[in-house]
Amino acid sequence: MVAILTYGIVYAFLFSILLLVLGWSLYNLPVLAAGVRDLRRNRRKPSGNSFNGRDLPTFSVIVPVKNEEKVVGRLLNALLRLNYPKEKVEIIVVEDGSTDGTVDICKKYEEESRAR
């Protein structure tokens, strides 16, 4: 008799959980439908214009260096290879009394970037 009551309670609990999940799903279905409808309605059509670099913002990259002779060349190479219009990028190297060849490397890249 106790086993029958236990199974009855378990089944009642599982049935109430099922009803709760079903009710929650039905309650949120209109919200999902409205979201999908809004997404489909407001989807942007790709324009026939090609991307224009004039609309991009200008930005500066400030690079603080001190005794970075081993890595500053690779860093500046990576910054110069950015896929961004060159006239929209400003690279500022802040050097703080390096005792190695960091200053020479930075000056070399400065001359190369002006030549481009």
* Entry pTM: 0.52
Check residues 81 and 52 and name the one with the higher pLDDT: 81
DSSP tally for the chain: helices H, then strands E: 3, 2
Taking all residues of the chain, what is their mean pLDDT, rounded to a whole number? 85
DSSP track, 49-90: SPP-GGGSPPEEEEEEESS-TTTHHHHHHHHHT-SS-GGGEE
Report the pLDDT averaged over residues 77-89. 90
Residue 73: what pLDDT?
92
Report the pLDDT averaged over residues 58-68. 93
Are 61 and 106 part of one and the same domain?
Answer: yes
Are 31 and 61 part of one and the same domain?
Answer: no
State the total domains in the chain: 2
Are 87 and 111 part of one and the same domain?
Answer: yes
7: domain range? 1-43
- Of the segments 2-16, 38-52, 100-114, which one has the largest average pLDDT value? 100-114
